[in-house]
Chains A and B, each alone.
Chain A
Amino acid sequence: MNAEQREYDVVVVGAGGAGIRAAIEAKAQGARTALVCKSLFGKAHTVMAEGGIAAALRNVWKEDGWDVHFRDTMRGGKLVSSWRMAQIHAQEAPDRVLELEEWGALFDRTPDGLILQRDFGGHRYARLAHVGDRTGLEMIRTLQNRAVEVGIDVLMECSIQRLLTDDGRVSGCVGYWRQSGRVVVLRAKAVVLATGGVGKCWRITSNSWEYTGDGMAMALEAGADLIDMEFVQFHPTGMVWPASVRGILVTEGVRGDGGTLRNSKGERFMFRYIPDFFRAETADTEAEADAWYEDKTKRRTPDLLPRDEVARAINAEVKAGRGSPHGGVFLDIATRRPAEYIRARLPSMYHQFKELADIDITKEPMEVGPTLHYIMGGVRVDPDTTASTVPGLFAAGEVAAGLHGANRLGGNSLSDLLVFGRRAGLYAAEHAARERAPRVDPAQVDEAARRMAAPLERGGEGEEPYALHSELQDTMHELVGIIRTQSELDEAVRRLGSLRERSAGVAAKGGARFNPGWNLALDLRSMLTVAEAVTRSAALRKESRGGHTRDDFPKADPEWAKVNVVTRLRDGRLELATEPLPELPEDLRALVLAEAQPPPRQEQHPEMESTAPAGMAGVRP
């Protein structure tokens, strides 16, 4: 073993919102901290987040509060979220947003100069702090600048392939520099995984090439548990045309700002898809739905039901032959808001459709359809510390599971990244302060190095990585999509098994220096692992809930609301089990299960004047 070696207290793998926030916190705690990005710094998927950061800041609706946000999150997650994570998240999100402002972020403002908040699916009140429809860019750039300011070591274009362990504890990780192809070993007392999701396993996705499940696969390999892998979110509104941009995200903010979904007959079909679970809080007439934007005593428009509901509804409309010409439905804001308002609120959507589809969204409806967007499942973590079941290994953001249960609400991801990113950095640094210097086992490094070199050594002689990836994407899309059924899941497991066998002989042409074919060959391994975890978890959960819909078990089953599906790697094979969820305390249970929405709260701050912006203010009941 003569690879480059570096030593740190805390290594953060992944440099989206969660990773950068974790690194900032670890550094603030005095830990020697490295932040590893698979791409250039500032390009992670967080940059694509559009709508906003959910936090009960109470700038627009002082009736809001952490308890309402908590209730919305738990209900959106179909009651299988980690209640403690949901509580911490709702309580701490406002401080994390204000902290971004402290670091230079410029959110859109209310008329009296505070952070403006917008409506989003599943949220009782306008709650999302935002910057037009480019909130993620503002967030990642603010965090990036802060990280540079505090002097964090940023390792760019470095792909981590394996966690190192010493006697069951994490001792670092090993990967390669994409620019040179050379192996690098990072010794560390603690590792924070912030590697994001798994979107590239599917054909139509809003995710970039980086979303290959590396963190989850490495965590499994190190002995950690994954949970909830069957819960995968199809964002209801991705672009459907032209084919080459199919899947690119269209923000929920379009509906939050007044847009509505229509089928080919012009019907606002969402009124036909209101589930019993949300009936009491959802408008059933167009008049009430349209009034809700300005009057929160009215019930919310079904256009803003949680994403799982909307994605299934669109899927059903298309199947019933009421879809748009390119296999989606119509998203219309042109007839509902003035052009000037649309361009001001949704500038990047305007630009995106104009440039990529020749559509002027101020004049014509958009064509949209579901796109694989997010995975609720991931590494099982302690709700307070983000510690995985392996000592020294922490996880935050999309790679971690628990907060979002069976379905994530829009806007809850950016707040998740900030709240649990900070906690991961904090507790990783605390852990590191207690640990002795990490010992690296050369055999583990050699094994990882051999694994990395293998596809190159095969030269052109073997399976082609792009072809294998393409087959994987087709398999997951055809058989593990929005609607699932036992026979198809079984078929998917079989196909994934054969892909795994073939991937053992994957070969990469060319050299190690910035070679995307080789990089993909290596990423296939983790993609196949997480794809199998998703498929088998989906086969195990015999009910429909949130981002997991079974044709053969179409109803939610209260018994399944009591358990997580857990995935572990034992002797090279994935093992699945069901384990009980933590019990929801009585006071919180009452809050969550109350059928009607909680009554508007008493004013907590009598000095606070109504801050709702003109034209958005509701009449207090």
Chain B
Amino acid sequence: MTEATGTREATVRVWRGEDRASGGFAEYTVSVDPGMVVLDVVFRVQATAAPDLAVRWNCKAGKCGSCSAEVNGHPRLMCMTRLSSLPEGEPITVAPMATFPLVRDLVTDVSFNYEKAKTVPAFRPAPPGPDGKRRMYQQEVERVQEFHKCIECFLCQNVCHVIRDHEENKQAFSGPRFFVRLAALEMHPLDTNDRIDLIRAKHGLGFCNITKCCTEVCPEDIHITDNAIIPLKERVVTEFYDPLAWAKRRIFGPR
């Protein structure tokens, strides 16, 4: 146990307001105990100074992906950011995710993601084997299980500069979360749906220039760029820009 014991005071600057133009940071000083995370500090502020401070959270254990925010400028889950990982004695800054419209204080309107989810073509399984059972092997499911670890915290969406800095791209670009989801479907051992054209045309995979910002912030350590986005880009290239594949399709028809 590396942490010092004993309660101390901490200063936290929390973004307050109902719109980005008129809101701003409010400073609070609260007592903090060893082992606390940033979300605990937010609770202390609620309980002692600002009962109406808006914050989203559920599990407080890094499993539900609700409490995403920007802590000292870094996109983090508040429940998994220990105070001991932040510089002691300096104020902690907590701001809402920048990419999504503000609802209030630390809460943003993430409906963009739920709308995009509706555009993903569903899983379509191949028929079961002759014994009526579906067989898949651990090795082949493991690759996809990595993508299923996604807790939909939307931090990857938040840091993706394609939409963070360009509101106009939101229409044509689904963002890393959905490349992970599409990769999971495309690589599912039993799936039979073909989404490659959609991935290119509707989800805007081409916008991504693999800067890996999404991978860096993923609290589940999903290798979003290397394992999801790049393989999808390769599939798109093979399908649409490979002259051999193109000729094959011309002769034998689409796959």
Q: Which residues of A contact B (CB under 8 A)?
A: 39-45, 47-48, 98, 101-104, 106-109, 111-114, 116, 131-132, 134, 136-138, 141, 145-146, 148-149, 154, 156, 179, 208-210, 241-245, 248-249, 348, 351-352, 355-358, 464-467, 470, 508-511, 513-518
Contacts and interface: CB of A to CB of B under 8 A. Distances in A.
Contacts, number: 169
5 contacts: A113-B135, A134-B63, A145-B123, A208-B58, A510-B51
Interface string B132-160: 01111110010011001111100000000
Contacts of A136: 63
Contacts of A515: 52, 54
Kindly list the 6 A-B residue pairs having the minimum CB-CB distance in the complex, ordered from nearest: A242-B35, A510-B52, A113-B135, A517-B51, A104-B123, A514-B54
A563 B117 CA distance: 48
Nearest to A211: B58
B23 interface: no
B185 to A, nearest CB: 7
A351 B123 contact: no
A356 B65 CA distance: 16
B113 to A, nearest CB: 9
A106 B103 contact: no
A102 B125 contact: yes
A148 B64 contact: no
Nearest to A46: B64
B40 A355 contact: no
B60 interface: yes
B3 interface: yes
Nearest to B18: A513
B37 interface: yes
B27 interface: no
Interface string B97-115: 0000001110101110010
B37 A244 contact: yes
Contacts of A146: 122
Contact of A355 (B56, B82, B150): B82
B103 A48 contact: no
B136 A113 contact: yes
B207 to A, nearest CB: 23
Contacts of B8: none
Contact of A209 (B58, B136, B138): B58
B107 A514 contact: yes
Contacts of B137: 109, 113
A514 B105 contact: yes
A373 to B, nearest CB: 13
A42 B114 CA distance: 10
Contacts of B134: 98, 101
A517 B37 contact: no
Task: Report whether over half of chain B's contact residues are helix, strand or loop; otherwise say mixed.
Answer: loop
B30 to A, nearest CB: 13
Contacts of A40: 56, 66, 110, 114
Nearest to B110: A40
Contact of B51 (A102, A149, A356, A516): A516
A324 to B, nearest CB: 12
Given A47-B59, A356-B61, 11 more contacts: A44-B58, A109-B137, A112-B135, A134-B63, A146-B122, A243-B35, A244-B37, A348-B63, A356-B80, A514-B103, A517-B46
B213 interface: no
A249 B61 contact: yes
Given A113-B135, A113-B136, A516 B145 contact: no
Contacts of A179: 103, 107, 109
B123 A355 contact: no
Nearest to B119: A148
B145 A106 contact: yes
Interface in B44-94: 46-47, 51-66, 80, 82
B135 A114 contact: yes
A137 B63 contact: yes
Nearest to B52: A510
Contacts of B148: 106, 131, 137-138, 141
Contacts of A137: 63, 148-149, 151
A549 to B, nearest CB: 27
A241 B66 CA distance: 23
Contact of A39 (B1, B18, B66, B122): B66
B57 A131 contact: no
Given A145-B122, A517-B46, A357 B58 contact: no
Given A40-B110, A41-B114, A516 B55 contact: yes
A615 to B, nearest CB: 13
Contacts of B231: none
Contact of B56 (A39, A145, A357, A358): A39
Given A40-B66, A104-B123, A249-B61, A516 B138 contact: no
B239 interface: no
Most chain B CB within 10 A, of A131, A245, A465, A511, is at A245
A101 B141 CA distance: 12
A475 to B, nearest CB: 17
Contacts of A358: 1-3
A357 B54 CA distance: 27
A340 B120 CA distance: 35
A39 B114 CA distance: 13
Contact of B40 (A154, A208, A244, A249): A244
